[in-house]
Amino acid sequence: MNFDRRKATIGDMSPSFATLVIRLVILQCVFMENPDDLAAGIETTPQFKRFSQRNDVFSRAFWDDTVRSAASQAFFASYRMEAIPRRGDGFTQKDFALRNASWLISDIMTDRFATDGRREGFQAPISNDTPVAGEKVHFETPSAASANVKKAAVFFGADLCGVTNLDPRWLYADRVDVRDMSTAPLDLPEGLTHVVVLGHEMDPELVRSYPSALGGAATGREYSHEAAIVMQLAAYIRNLGYQAVASMNDTGLVIPMAVQAGLGEYARNQLVITPQFGPRLRFSKIFTDMPLATNRPKRPGVAKFCDICTKCADACPVKALPLGPPKFGGGPSAIQGVKKWTSDAEKCFSFWIKLSSDCAICMRVCPFNRDFRSWPQRLWLKLALSPARGLALWLDRWRQGRLKPAHWWSRP
């Protein structure tokens, strides 16, 4: 049979073979929405639907009585100088003071338009303070344009930068109007084609102190850092003459975007494992119409390691992480129609409330939470991503354990 696309037609094929081809094409359209899905480890079903941010557990804590409580409101208030210090190590007044101060820049940004219902960076994209230049800067190739943007990203302070095509599946179905927790349109400009994903490393020592209010300072510091960095990079792109919408946790699911941008691989603890920093990252993103060369997703073997490792699930105090293989489904705070490891968001958030701080035990105990600048750790990484992953898991028992917050304070 001649498979020259200019000549071959369904009519040239036998009925049974034509039926088989049609079925394969339909299956590809249903289960492979993006040609990079296989490389990214993404599998969807016809039941897939875009996620409404109103259903994330933090939004539900303001309207859903199964999550909202006096304790949850006290949890949020504790980030605005209302924390109740405890005697326990890591939960003293100075620990909460450092944590709350670390969030300051992020808080200033998110409060700017709260009276208009926009909690920017978390439940609405960040408003642009820089107009788009009337004249575009043209680069010789999309690769040159990407290299330029990545250079600027690192200059502003990003630790990682990748580029992917804008995949509408990961955009939220709507945003949240925080005045009454109703839904509102995303209001993204038309013509956006790419996403620039930025990675921001969390402080390794503070991550080792989780669970503690001190550890929460690592989270807050990076949200404040990424707020400045993503706004600066968006302003740079707009000054080049292109649309650029800065975004943090708002507007779309950044985890699959980071995977598609080639920054890392999805893991059991629902974090992106990167070869530079393991899971120890926050991510931000910029939506743009700038013609850019994209990065390809990579699957070096993290998922295969997670298949034999359950350290994050075992260490979770409320057993919010799954022990088995990836699967479809999940609760109301999970995207539907995607095969993945999914946490019990309600259990997870209940522990945050109990702590009066965020928890990242799953990040701390992850075997990939290492400093890969040293050659022994890079050697371990090679083992972990090879068929000798079982040996790497066995060797992980000698990795450093939890850092007592008091020890962090006492260090010079």
Helices (H), 36-91: 37-40, 57-60, 70-77
Domain contains 349: yes
DSSP assigned state of 127: P
Among 6-10, 126-130, 194-198, top mean pLDDT goes to: 194-198
What are the φ and ψ backbone dihedral angles of 333, each rounded to 5 degrees?
A: -95, 15
Nearest to 61 by CA among 364, 332, 389, 341: 332
Residues of the chain above pLDDT 90, percent: 87
Domain contains 35: no
Q: pTM of this prediction?
A: 0.90
| Domain membership of residue 328 as a residue range | 53-410
Q: How far apart are CA 353 and CA 371, in angstroms?
A: 30
Domain contains 29: no
Alpha-carbon distances, residue 191 vs 138, 151, 188 (angstroms)? 17, 24, 9
Helix (H, G, I), strand (E, B) or coil at 62: coil
Average pLDDT over residues 154-178: 98
Average pLDDT over residues 17-35: 47
Look at the chain and count its residues: 412
Domain contains 384: yes
Q: How far apart are CA 300 and CA 276, in angstroms?
A: 13
Nearest to 355 by CA among 81, 96, 64, 101: 96
The total domain count for the chain is 1
Domain contains 3: no
CB-neighbour burial class of residue 216 (10 A; exposed 0-12, middle 13-18, buried 19+): buried
pLDDT tens, residue by residue, 181-226: 999 999 899 999 999 999 999 999 999 999 999 999 999 999 999 9
Domain contains 61: yes
Helix (H, G, I), strand (E, B) or coil at 245: strand
Domain contains 352: yes
**Residue 83: predicted pLDDT:** 72
Nearest to 209 by CA among 221, 198, 197, 218: 218
Domain contains 190: yes
Structure tokens at 171: 């955009």
Whose tokens are 């941010």? That residue is 53
DSSP string over 134-145: SSPPPPSSHHHH
Q: Chain-centre distance of CA 371, in angstroms?
A: 20
